[in-house]
């Protein structure tokens, strides 16, 4: 009998083993009940979340302005004449009614006295004529002539009195006599400027604000003026223009500032800080702001059911480190990591953030370099 080669026998055994393995390994698909499905994870995407409350915040508007005296006027001559005296030195403080300059009056006091005497005569003649007219001893035209003479005498007295007053101009209000431009012996003509009177006990801070800023302003808001040397003046907003300037579309505003020390500041520039009413805000990183479908600034957060919500916000203030916004629920479950990979309405797995955001705590000592708005304590 012929023997089967060993290699053939080995190959046959391997084929037989493969057939048996395939047959028994495929029995699973003939089972009457399906196998148990592998457990599916019920948790959604993981996001980092912090919970925060809104905090009080005091917005500010910082604008560049110019300081002017509350009252100032240019003194001009009302009468032609030579300067006879300068009773007040340049730079001196004066009271309302003080004589500031004396012009040569050309015997105006004597002329005024003569006119007053003539007025007294005219009054006496008119008084006697009225008694005579009551008894019909003089005619009505004669009485009217005497009345006209009386009026002319009174007008002459008033005119000479005004000329005498104009020859001795007085201060219309308390202030500092500034920039006196005449010397004794100079000839002044009517309308010629000879000095300025400045009342700088209170100052006006004038500035221009944009259309976006003017809506938040109301008269009476506190204002702080920071000077170039670092000093500060306190006051309040006293005027807001009702019409924008056509060329720049900006609105003119004025703030009244106290200057009790009488510092020489009129005409100088200053930085005006307007303190707006306090508001409740949420503080977050500017990187967490996004745009919603309507192009508004919005923030993603979680509701009580761990579903992603997106709420439009109003930006109150912002810098490179933090943003102050309103319009969010309070308290807020803010998504700090993973907001970009989750959709609105999706259920997620919140994970408490290991560290809070690196935002500066609100304080009242923020500088203009940190933020143009100062939070409240």
Q: What are the pLDDT digits (tens) for 295-327?
A: 899 999 999 898 999 999 988 888 888 899 999
Q: How confident is the model at residue 38 (pLDDT cuts 50, 70, 90)?
A: very low
Distance CA 167, CA 156 (A): 17
C-alpha torsion sign, points 124, 126, 132, 138: positive
Specify the pLDDT at position 282.
Answer: 92
Instruction: Taking residues 114-131, report their average pLDDT.
Output: 88
Residue showing tokens 């479950």: 333
**Which residues contact residue 292 at a Cβ distance below 8 angstroms, ignoring those fewer than 6 apart?**
298, 310, 312
pLDDT of 223 strictly over 60: yes
Local confidence band at 334 (pLDDT 50, 70, 90 cut-offs): very high
> Which two structure tokens, joined as six digits, stand for 47?
């996001």
Q: What are the tens digits of pLDDT across the range 139-193?
A: 888 888 888 988 998 998 998 888 888 889 999 999 999 999 999 999 999 999 9
Give the predicted TM-score (pTM) of the model.
0.63
- What does R_g of the chain's alpha carbons equal in angstroms? 46
SS3 of residue 41 by DSSP: coil
At 49-81, the pLDDT tens digits run 999 999 999 988 999 999 999 899 999 999 899
Distance CA 240, CA 221 (A): 11
Backbone angles phi, psi at 126, to 5 degrees: -70, -40
Contacts of 139 (CB under 8 A, 6+ apart): none
Q: At residue 196, does pLDDT exceed 70?
A: yes
Q: Is the preceding peptide bond at 257 cis, omega within 30 degrees of 0?
A: no
Specify the pairing of strand 46-52 against strand 349-352: parallel
**326: helix, strand or coil:** strand
Q: How far apart are CA 325 and CA 289, in angstroms?
A: 10
Nearest to 368, CA basis, from 300, 288, 273, 304? 273
Q: What is the pLDDT confidence band of residue 4, given thresholds at 50, 70 and 90?
A: low
């Amino acid at each position: 009998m012929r023997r089967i080669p060993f290699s053939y026998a080995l190959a046959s055994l391997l084929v037989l083993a493969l057939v048996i393995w395939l047959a028994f390994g495929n029995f699973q698909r003939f089972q009457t009940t399906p196998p148990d499905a592998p457990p599916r994870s019920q948790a959604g995407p993981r996001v980092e979340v912090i919970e925060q409350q809104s905090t009080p915040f005091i917005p500010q508007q910082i604008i560049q302005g110019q300081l002017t005296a509350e009252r100032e006027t240019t003194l001009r001559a009302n009468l032609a004449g030579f300067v006879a005296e300068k009773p007040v030195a340049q730079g001196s403080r004066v009271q309302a009614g003080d004589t500031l300059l004396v012009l040569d009056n050309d015997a105006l006091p004597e002329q005024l006295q003569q006119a007053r005497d003539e007025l007294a005569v005219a009054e006496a003649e008119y008084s006697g004529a009225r008694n005579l007219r009551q008894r019909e001893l003089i005619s009505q035209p004669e009485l009217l002539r005497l009345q006209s003479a009386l009026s002319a005498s009174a007008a002459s007295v008033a005119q000479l009195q005004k000329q005498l007053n104009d020859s001795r101009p007085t201060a219309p209000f308390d202030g500092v006599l500034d920039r006196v431009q005449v010397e004794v012996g100079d000839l002044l003509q009517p309308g010629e400027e000879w000095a300025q009177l400045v009342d700088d006990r209170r100052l006006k801070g004038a500035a221009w604000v944009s259309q976006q800023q003017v809506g938040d302003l109301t008269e009476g808001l506190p204002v702080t003026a920071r000077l170039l040397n670092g000093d500060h003046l306190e006051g309040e907003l006293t005027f807001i223009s009702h019409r924008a300037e056509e060329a720049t579309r900006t609105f003119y505003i004025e703030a009244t500032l106290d200057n009790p020390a009488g510092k020489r500041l009129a005409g100088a520039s200053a930085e005006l800080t307007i303190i707006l009413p306090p508001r409740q805000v949420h503080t977050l990183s500017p990187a967490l702001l996004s745009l919603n479908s309507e192009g508004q600034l919005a923030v993603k957060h979680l509701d009580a059911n761990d579903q992603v919500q997106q709420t439009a916000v109003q930006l109150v203030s912002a810098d490179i480190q933090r943003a102050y916004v309103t319009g969010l629920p309070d308290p807020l479950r803010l998504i700090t990591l993973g907001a970009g990979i989750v959709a609105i309405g999706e259920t997620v797995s919140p994970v408490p953030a290991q560290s809070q955001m690196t935002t500066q705590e609100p304080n009242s000592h923020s500088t203009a370099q940190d933020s143009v708005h100062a939070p409240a304590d």
